[in-house]
A and B are shown apart, each in its own frame.
Chain A
Amino acid sequence: MEYMLFICSDPAAPEYVAAEDNIEEWVAEMESRGVSRHGDRLRPVEDATTVTVRASEVVVSDGPFAETKEWIAGYDIIACADLDEAIEVASKHPMARFGKIEIRPVWPLGL
């Protein structure tokens, strides 16, 4: 199954410590296990743009679609045997310690 990990900030989490950020290790392990499909960081919400089309008119606005204290800082698409493996993969990600990670199953459109 494919899952998407939303790597999120969390104001309630312990402060980020660069020395404890082992993201390279995580990426290396997940790539060698064949779990990692694709993933990266995202620019901060200040760089977000939201688009809507209403009555055929394109409306562009600055900023994210939802104003929250938690925002998505990165994403990963992973392929796992089941949710338990996805949980294990997410729990090893450094941002599980400095933020939080939401796991969502990919729902293929089947086109």
Chain B
Amino acid sequence: MDSGLTDTRTAVEAASSGQTARITATLIRVTGDWSLAEDCVQDAFAKALVDWPEHGIPRNPGAWLTTVARNRAIDRMRSAASEKRAVGELAIIAQLESLEERGGIDPGAEDDRLRLIFTCCHPALPLDARVALTLRTVAGLTTGEIARAFLVSEATMSKRLVRARAKIRDAGIPYRVPPPELRAERTSGVLAVLYLMFNEGYSATGGESLIRESLALEAIRLNRLLVSLLAGSPQEPEAAGLLALMLFHHARRNTRTDDAGDLVTLEEQDRGLWDHAEIAEAVALLAAAERLGISRRSRPGSYRVQAAIAACHMTARTPGSTDFARVALLYDSLAQIAPSPVVELNRAVAVAMSQGPEAGLDLIEQLDQSRSLEGYYLLPAAKADLLRRLGRRSEARDEYQRACELAPSEAERRYLGRRLAETSSASSSLSEPKRNSRTPAIKEKK
């Protein structure tokens, strides 16, 4: 590929990630037709790929793309309108024709994008459709790309999108930023969609990993957009908290598995390979979110607390210097905001790290007896680690065995098998296991 063509591709891709939501959102507002808007925007990008190498990249790519997409919409509505002689459609065409072209940005464009995000994430749509529609309409991914990311056929994904757009139209889901009384609830719905999208990409073990990794990046990009669109609102701190949380996770992306594809726990990861620019950004975001939260009297939600926990781990120079007392306190507040036995388990591990293994083991025993985490392999795994630290090796072996049987994937079974082998060999030679003898396995928990 010659460099001119590469430049054009890069320019089109940059415009795509920056402009898709803006142009689509505006076309939807004016036409009310989601698939028409998406198709016309896609056509505009296709035309750019042909036109720009020949005539050069326009000075204002956004304005160029808006004009092409708008003209395409006018053409399509004209031919449909002449068939049906629909008066309403003629009015829409007139509105399209008068669309402000200055800088490619419609005066209402900022609001339009927020409107678009909230509508895509409306709770009346099925969750998988919310994620797909956000990726299609806001992020501008093609149906094929989304289908590959979710390991379904393109036909299945296409049907899911068609059904979602039909429900927006037929059930009367409003295309708007929700009014203040709904804003908090709906924003947390949007954040949940973004975090699901991120995890779908980030914790991917199967599938086309590159495509799935781009999901994590899209989620981060959309979250950045959301934070900027929510600037000044009471929801801004929590949106920024989620962005910080995503960045903390993402900063570790290259250290989570070894060359053989086996899991590497947080304390065994090479901290020098973490993305320190991302960590610094996340720390700054979180600090700003906390300041904002105090000044707006908005109490931290679960994302801000989870980000604060991640910050304790990610800013410690070594695993041993982690402020586990603070981690335990943060899990306490998380348990109050979003109670769950998994949070309790993580709290128990943090207590073990700050107050000693017995204290942690007591808490885990209680959880084990409550059976609220029955079948969850991380409970026996954490218990085994603490038993091993206390020198109770045969009990530790039993728990590793139990964890192995419950482990959901081959990578996890291999990891636990290694621990089991270390515990067994250590028990015969009475020596400490080679690696990671002081700290139990705190598996990444999102």
Contact = CB atoms under 8 A, between A and B. Distances in A.
Nearest to A80: B172
A85 B289 CA distance: 32
A107 B178 contact: no
A40 to B, nearest CB: 24
Interface residues of B, number: 9
A74 interface: no
B171 A105 contact: yes
Contact of A105 (B172, B174, B182): B172
A84 B174 contact: yes
A82 B173 contact: yes
A107 B182 CA distance: 27
A107 B170 CA distance: 8
A4 to B, nearest CB: 12
A28 interface: no
A87 B170 CA distance: 15
A105 B178 contact: no
A1 B170 CA distance: 10
Contacts of A81: 174
B173 A105 contact: no
Contacts of A84: 173-174, 178, 182
Nearest to B168: A83
B121 to A, nearest CB: 13
Interface residues of A, number: 11
A86 interface: yes
Nearest to B175: A82
B124 interface: yes
Contacts of A3: 172
A107 B102 CA distance: 41
Interface in B169-185: 170-174, 178, 182
Contacts of B171: 83, 105
A82 B169 CA distance: 10
B126 to A, nearest CB: 14
A73 B315 CA distance: 57
Interface in A61-91: 80-84, 86-87
A86 B170 contact: no
Contacts of A82: 172-174
Interface in A31-68: none
Contacts of B178: 84
Interface in B279-300: none
A84 B125 CA distance: 12
A82 B174 CA distance: 6
B115 to A, nearest CB: 13
A90 to B, nearest CB: 11
A3 B352 CA distance: 55
A81 B172 CA distance: 8
Interface string B71-87: 00000000000000000
A84 B173 CA distance: 7
Contacts of B122: 83
Contacts of A80: 172
Contacts of A105: 170-172
Interface in A7-36: none
B84 to A, nearest CB: 15
A68 B296 CA distance: 48
A36 to B, nearest CB: 17
A24 to B, nearest CB: 24
11 contacts: A82-B172, A82-B173, A82-B174, A83-B122, A83-B124, A83-B174, A84-B178, A86-B172, A87-B124, A105-B171, A105-B172
Interface of B: 122, 124, 170-174, 178, 182
Across the A-B interface, give the 7 residue pairs with the lowest CB-CB distance, nearest first.
Answer: A82-B174, A1-B172, A82-B172, A83-B172, A83-B173, A105-B171, A83-B171
